[in-house]
Structure 1
């Protein structure tokens, strides 16, 4: 595998998210096409993407058509808007992996949709989505919602370097 990326809360096909989150798009079609282009501009075929939930509001065929257009090996951690469809639905829609629960990445990063409770004595970082334009202060949370990152997936190194001082050379 090549590089590893993280992103969340695309809400493909969800026209109301444009108003809810003040997204700069005229309609859902423009939003979807822009987000697909931004994903493919940074993610290559040999890369892996952890999508931290709330991927699509579309039916399975239309969701699958989007998943097929996105580069990389795609691992979905189900978000609150994804869970009603179940893990198998997302696998059938084209994700390579789908997790119903948070996972631990590199023994240090908790990957989840909703932010997890992290007290100040914990050395870990929670990489999450769900809260869109909001942001938690401090070093224990890293919000990868599309609104914070110009609708573009972030590399693991971008996240690591932002939350673990002195790790840039690792």
Structure 2
């Protein structure tokens, strides 16, 4: 199946109360934050065939697992989770409520995809070197909440980045400021 559009985003932190203060997010409650992220997501992701890669820290299940599942199902399109630290238990296992969601692919720590003819390496954490980094591959990451600038052809795609602004973004949108032409095409 061909996907209409691929998009990328990180650090949603659905249901995570302290993230609002820790990252100076412009919301008064998790309910307000969650609703606004869903609104912006669905304003952008139009088709059930669209594919959105979430680069970690999807959310906290909390006490109401049914509300957590409804939130997932309210987001349009297919979703792939690249695991972040808040998606895991202390023993390293995926939080069961997150693992049980109907992801398009099983959640994983690292994924390589192709977009706009480029290799794109997806992880929750920033890397200084990544597969084919010296041959034009692009690296998208989260975790740093806009506090860690990109290096070479890498960048933070977290919701806290001003140009992401709580909205899933396309490869072209995210690489608009990169000098892709100065780097060789990744094989």
The reply on whether 1:82 has 2:104 as its aligned counterpart is no
CA contact (8 A) 2:84 2:109 kept: no
* Pairing partner for 1:51 from 49, 54, 60: 54
1:1-170 aligned at under 5 Å gives the runs 1-44=3-46, 45-59=48-62, 60-84=65-89, 86=94, 89-106=97-114, 108-118=119-129, 121=134, 123-148=136-161, 149-166=164-181
Task: Report how many aligned residue pairs link the two structures.
Answer: 167
Q: Deviations over 1:43-95 (max 9, x none)?
A: 02221000001001124433211110000010111111102252764342232
Structure 1 position 141, deviation (Å): 1.5
Q: TM-score, normalised by structure 2?
A: 0.80
Q: Distance in 1 between matches of 2:97 and 2:32?
A: 25
TM-score, structure 1 as length reference: 0.87
Please list every run of 5 or more consecutive structure 1 residues that lacks an aligned counterpart in the other structure. none
The change in CA–CA distance for 1:21 and 1:63 in structure 2 (over 3 A counts) is same
CA distance in 2, matches of 1:155, 1:54: 19
